[in-house]
Structure 1
């Protein structure tokens, strides 16, 4: 009498082994992808003129009564605001109010002896000569600080110009590393591209907005900003 052969269990075992191998393949691939990985970065920069100007003008008042100080600040800002708006073509210069503060002054006994307050007016835009000239016409406020910066449109335009250089440097560095480690080349694993610009710090100004000459412009000279594109990430050497 012939002994029956257990075919079904054998087939089940083969299927289980095949499934185990199939499930193990992604893990093997993952381990391989984590080998020979090099992290690196490269950047490219360009220096460009700043194209945006912001001038903050400030009125300061003090007195024994809070309301009188507040009214004095309001009159100063209203007068400056009305004058500035006469010279503010749409799209060339924006005029807006800034910070407002009112606080008491105390004597040594802790009693209120008076009040002091400040109010601000801000002129900003891309027409630097117009903004500087307008600031010089405002005789009820003083220049508090001047900030030059790079507009978003200019930053994006210049970043696009140097992005190609940064990417080319990244690829060249990756190829150089691959060859030094004895590999023929590389494949990209992860890449990040970022943009930054420097040189937008405010410049404190201890001067009157109204210069000695009638309607003289506040002295302003356009500075420089550096736009930098950085490419960072990792590659797999092969």
Structure 2
């Protein structure tokens, strides 16, 4: 009995807290000697992509006239953005709602329309935001890891976490004095945690800066995490 407790303590200490041994009986020992393992690898990477949402909001008594005014502003913004081919520009949300007086009668209309800028060319985004803020308001500015960089880093982490998983399986095999082990189940999960908060228009305002000055950018970092979860059977 004491030897059994010592063996269990050894496997828990050597492998990690993410390891557990399923209960087994002597008659089914070979069938149920399955150990579950967990491994993790991560890299800190610089955010290399910016996503900015700008908007215009106007009121008018005539909804058709209001729509024309909104479209003129948006078209003007799209024309300016064409000078920055490295920046992808797309339409965002657009909604129109009525305004009421005290008698709950419609007195006019309000339209909120957005455009979205997305690019890994952070300098171009900064310059374009500085120009567009003359006619549009900055709703939010967020930095993230681009798809290309995320895939490249994840591929590296998959290799790292797989090696770590195999090392832990080998430690468990030695601790239980098994001749070898076989992989039963293996699953890889990935996650990205950003350390850069979303910047909103109120935080970007600077009365001392010229209206068309480039918007200062601090992209920050994100942590890309890859986790391996699986089980091996000791032989």
TM-score, L = length of structure 1: 0.77
Work out whether 1:205 is the aligned partner of 2:211: no
For the structure 1 residues 109 and 213, does the alpha-carbon distance in structure 2 shift closer, same or farther, using more than 3 Å as the test? same
Determine which structure has more spread, i.e. the larger CA radius of gyration. Answer: 1
Q: How does 1:17-36 map to 2 (within 5 A)?
A: 34-36=31-33
In the TM superposition, what is the alpha-carbon distance from 1:175 to its structure 2 partner?
A: 2.6
**Counterpart in the other structure of 1:142:** 137
For the structure 1 residues 33 and 127, does the alpha-carbon distance in structure 2 shift closer, same or farther, using more than 3 Å as the test? farther
**Counterpart in the other structure of 2:227:** 230
CA distance in 1, matches of 2:201, 2:135: 16
CA distance in 2, matches of 1:151, 1:66: 39
**Counterpart in the other structure of 2:157:** 162
TM-score, L = length of structure 2: 0.78
Work out whether 1:131 is the aligned partner of 2:131: no
Secondary structure of 2:32's partner?
coil
Match of 1:178 among 144, 166, 173: 173
Deviations 1:154-213 (A, max 9, x none): 111111222222112212222333344453442211112232222176432225699832
Q: Is the Cα contact below 8 Å between 2:81 and 2:87 reproduced in 1?
A: no
Deviations 1:90-133 (A, max 9, x none): xx211222111111122343321221111111211110011110
**Counterpart in the other structure of 2:13:** none
Work out whether 1:72 is the aligned partner of 2:69: yes
For the structure 1 residues 179 and 106, does the alpha-carbon distance in structure 2 shift closer, same or farther, using more than 3 Å as the test? farther
In the TM superposition, what is the alpha-carbon distance from 1:215 to its structure 2 partner?
A: 2.6
**Counterpart in the other structure of 1:217:** 214
Aligned residues: 205
Secondary structure of 1:80's partner?
helix
For the structure 1 residues 153 and 32, does the alpha-carbon distance in structure 2 shift closer, same or farther, using more than 3 Å as the test? farther
Structure 2: 5+ residue runs without aligned partners? 1-27
For the structure 1 residues 211 and 197, does the alpha-carbon distance in structure 2 shift closer, same or farther, using more than 3 Å as the test? farther
In the TM superposition, what is the alpha-carbon distance from 1:35 to its structure 2 partner?
A: 0.8
Q: Is the Cα contact below 8 Å between 2:95 and 2:113 reproduced in 1?
A: yes
Superposition misfits of 4+ residues, deviation over 6 angstroms? none
